[in-house]
């Protein structure tokens, strides 16, 4: 299995599982990733996802240079092969995703992490977009997400020069949320995910949607979107439960409806 997919209570765990290939994504694992993401998106019982890599060397080296990239560059086919829809491109998921970066996140591996909402990395791992070394460019959103998340000069250095940065520098420039010792990575990611699960899931998803869609809107358009999403929560059970629990001085019991 190129992707291990597990569900525990309200959490979904995705493990990129090709450690012999630095967890590079080949066509079969990309299809498995898509199927797992669809189940996560559509399953009302899971509220937060965590994505990590198998082993200690890599989170993911990105698209498999032996099996995936040649298929995408095949000149003998009339239409280039496209990977199945995923969180990097083509698949919208408003449930929160946490990237637990256990090793190097290079190329498409970094793009997987950039497509998540929160990023936690172990100490001393490298993150980079080296595609120009092979006369390519990032193809899973790196040219678009990285300049939106990192300072423009640093994003240009990483994309145009193919340079990588350490997790410590990524934290300093705000590209990731936290750096932790290796033995604390999954515990920290799970703790963060469980913290989100204590909040109103419909509110969290609406907030994520407002943030993501608002990036492409003017301020006035974004404010209208925010109002629309706020109004969409008015008649949900959870929106009634939250203020009621606050008034009664007890923890809310959210149900996701």
Active-site residue list: 111, 131
Shortest CA distance to 186 belongs to which of 114, 99, 110, 112? 99
SS (H, E, C) 83-146: CCCECCCECCCCCCEEEEECCEEECHHHHHHHCCCEEEEECCCEEECCHHHHCCCCCCCHHHHH
Angle in degrees, 0-180, between the axes of helices 152-160 and 142-149, rounded to the nearest 10: 150
3-state secondary structure of 36: helix
d(CA 14, CA 216): 29
Diameter of the chain measured on Cα atoms = 68
């Amino acid at each position: 299995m190129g992707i291990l997919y597990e569900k525990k209570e309200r959490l979904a765990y995705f493990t990129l599982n090709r450690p012999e290939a630095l967890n590079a994504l080949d066509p079969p694992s990309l299809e498995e990733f898509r199927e797992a993401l669809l189940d996560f998106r559509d399953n009302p019982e899971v509220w937060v996802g965590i994505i990590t890599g198998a082993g200690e060397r890599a989170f993911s080296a990105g698209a498999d240079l032996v099996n995936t990239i040649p298929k995408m560059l095949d000149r003998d086919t009339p239409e280039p092969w496209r990977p199945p829809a995923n969180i990097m491109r083509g698949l919208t998921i408003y449930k929160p995703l946490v990237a637990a970066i256990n090793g190097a996140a290079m190329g498409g591996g970094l793009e997987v992490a950039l497509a998540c909402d929160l990023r936690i990395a172990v100490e001393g791992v490298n993150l980079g977009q080296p595609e120009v070394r092979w006369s390519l460019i990032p193809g899973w959103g790196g040219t678009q997400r990285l300049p939106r998340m990192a300072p423009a000069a640093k994003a240009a250095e990483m994309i145009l020069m193919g340079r990588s940065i350490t997790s410590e520098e990524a934290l300093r420039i705000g590209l990731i949320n936290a750096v932790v010792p290796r033995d604390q990575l999954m515990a920290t990611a799970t703790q963060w995910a469980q913290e989100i699960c204590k909040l109103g899931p419909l509110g969290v998803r609406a907030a994520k949607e407002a943030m993501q869609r608002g990036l492409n809107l003017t301020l006035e358009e974004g404010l209208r979107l925010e109002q629309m999403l706020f109004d969409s929560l008015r008649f949900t059970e959870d929106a009634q439960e939250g203020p009621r629990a606050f008034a009664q001085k007890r923890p809310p019991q959210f149900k996701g409806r």
